[in-house]
């Protein structure tokens, strides 16, 4: 069955005359059919208005069966789950640290399969700061995000603008897959010769299932094997500091517990403390404050960006060795 398309009864300026103008290629139809005389086209910003305004009576969607839409989604989603069941790196948490790590790593190693697991379904606004602006101490130049330069810091006019830009760049990498509305509810470990812990992947479930383990004997989880996990689960929320607490739960680490807010102390501590806390698990972002007993940071995000960057650097340094150990 052909994909959904907008069917026009009459000629629409600038598109193939008559026939079906496929809605999905609508904004690109100008490019796709190589129209000459590009200058004859309506000004770029009026394309949609020019195309639709006043023509609604001629406009109708081609019929499509619900099962077609459902199959289009499920076929891809479950194929992704199959492909990423063996990942090269798993990043837990699509917050500012996690996405920064994903961006740097995906760009530096396009050969690595990177799975991002995020428990929220709606991202960006939830994972950016809730205030109306996001103060970063490092200009996010690579992302072409506009910001006000205040000398020793920059201000992005909305956290969602910064996070959505970063998210869109990360998701544009062909070697990155985001599994949202999905919680990491456990870690996968392997025994080591010195009786320490080596992490070899994560256990995941639908977030709503994970949230109900106390009142439902829930369905079996999913697993993702990976030689390296980057945990950036933050300090807040139902799963905050997930990996730190899980590691402490079986004695692999001791929890310091986050201390009260001290922005400057926290910024240095988080960035410099970003590291592989146990073999196979690098920790970054505010989750480290729970592990190391660092201070709360408050609504500034430069340290999250740099912590994510340092986590990516750590991953680049150890990935080959961890991969060998996992073989």
Please give the residue ranges that form the binding site for ligand 48N (CB under 6 A). Answer: 92-98, 117-120, 127, 183-184, 232-237, 239, 242, 285-287, 296-299, 301, 304
Of 202, 250, 254, which Cα lies nearest the Cα of 228?
202
Both structure tokens of 298:
């408050």
8 vs 242, which CB is nearer to ligand 48N? 242
Rounded distance, CA 179 to CA 155, Å?
Answer: 30
Rounded distance, CA 1 to CA 294, Å?
Answer: 57
Q: How far is the CB of 76 from ligand 48N (least distance, A)?
A: 21
Q: How far is the CB of 165 from ligand 48N (least distance, A)?
A: 15
Q: How far is the CB of 192 from ligand 48N (least distance, A)?
A: 24
Who's near 317: CB < 8 A, 6+ residues apart? none
Rounded distance, CA 237 to CA 258, Å?
Answer: 14
Q: How far is the CB of 243 from ligand 48N (least distance, A)?
A: 8
51 vs 189, which CB is nearer to ligand 48N? 189
112 vs 117, which CB is nearer to ligand 48N? 117
Both structure tokens of 17:
């005359």
Rounded distance, CA 298 to CA 78, Å?
Answer: 38
Q: How many C-beta atoms lie closer than 10 Å to residue 265's C-beta? A: 14
Q: How far is the CB of 191 from ligand 48N (least distance, A)?
A: 24
Q: What share of the chain is helix, strand, coil (3-state, %, to 5)?
A: 40, 20, 40
27 vs 238, which CB is nearer to ligand 48N? 238
Q: How many C-beta atoms lie closer than 10 Å to residue 41's C-beta? A: 15
26 vs 258, which CB is nearer to ligand 48N? 258
51 vs 207, which CB is nearer to ligand 48N? 207
Q: How far is the CB of 177 from ligand 48N (least distance, A)?
A: 14
Q: How far is the CB of 94 from ligand 48N (least distance, A)?
A: 5
Q: How far is the CB of 215 from ligand 48N (least distance, A)?
A: 19
Q: What φ, ψ does residue 17 adopt, rounded to 5°? A: -70, 130
DSSP 123-179: -STTTS-SSS-EEESS--GGGT---EE-SS-EEES-HHHHHHHHHHHHHHSTTEEEE
C-alpha distance from residue 147 to each of 98, 135, 154, 155 (Å): 21, 9, 6, 5
CA atoms within 13 A on the CB side of 15: 23
110 vs 298, which CB is nearer to ligand 48N? 298
Q: How far is the CB of 185 from ligand 48N (least distance, A)?
A: 7
12 vs 159, which CB is nearer to ligand 48N? 159
175 vs 300, which CB is nearer to ligand 48N? 300
């Amino acid at each position: 069955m052909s994909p959904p398309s907008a069917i026009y009864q009459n000629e629409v300026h600038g598109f193939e005359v008559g026939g079906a103008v496929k809605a999905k290629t609508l904004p690109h139809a100008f490019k796709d059919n190589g129209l000459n005389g590009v200058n004859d086209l309506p000004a770029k910003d009026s394309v949609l208005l020019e195309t639709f305004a006043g023509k609604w009576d001629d406009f109708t969607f081609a019929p499509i069966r619900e099962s077609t839409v459902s199959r289009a989604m499920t076929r891809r989603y479950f194929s992704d789950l199959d492909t990423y069941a063996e990942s090269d790196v798993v990043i837990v948490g699509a917050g500012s640290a996690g996405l920064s790590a994903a961006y740097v790593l995906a760009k530096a190693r396009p050969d690595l399969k990177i799975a991002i697991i995020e428990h929220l379904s709606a991202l960006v606004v939830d994972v950016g700061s809730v205030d109306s602006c996001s103060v970063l101490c490092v200009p996010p130049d690579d992302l072409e995000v506009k910001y006000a330069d205040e000398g020793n810091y920059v201000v992005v006019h909305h956290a969602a603008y910064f996070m959505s830009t970063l998210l869109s760049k990360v998701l544009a990498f062909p070697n990155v897959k985001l599994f949202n509305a999905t919680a990491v509810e456990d870690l996968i470990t392997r025994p080591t010769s010195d009786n320490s812990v080596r992490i070899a992947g994560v256990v995941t479930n639908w977030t709503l299932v994970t949230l109900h383990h106390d009142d439902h004997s829930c369905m079996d989880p999913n697993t993702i094997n990976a030689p390296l996990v980057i945990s950036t689960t933050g300090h807040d929320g139902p799963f905050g500091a997930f990996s730190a607490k899980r590691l402490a739960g079986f004695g692999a680490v001791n929890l310091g517990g986050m201390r009260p807010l001290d922005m400057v102390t926290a910024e240095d501590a988080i960035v410099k403390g970003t590291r592989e806390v146990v073999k196979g698990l690098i920790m970054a972002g505010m989750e480290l404050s729970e592990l190391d007993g660092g201070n709360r940071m408050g609504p500034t995000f430069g340290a999250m960006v740099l912590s994510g960057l340092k986590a990516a650097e750590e991953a680049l340094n150890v990935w080959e060795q961890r991969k060998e150990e996992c073989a």
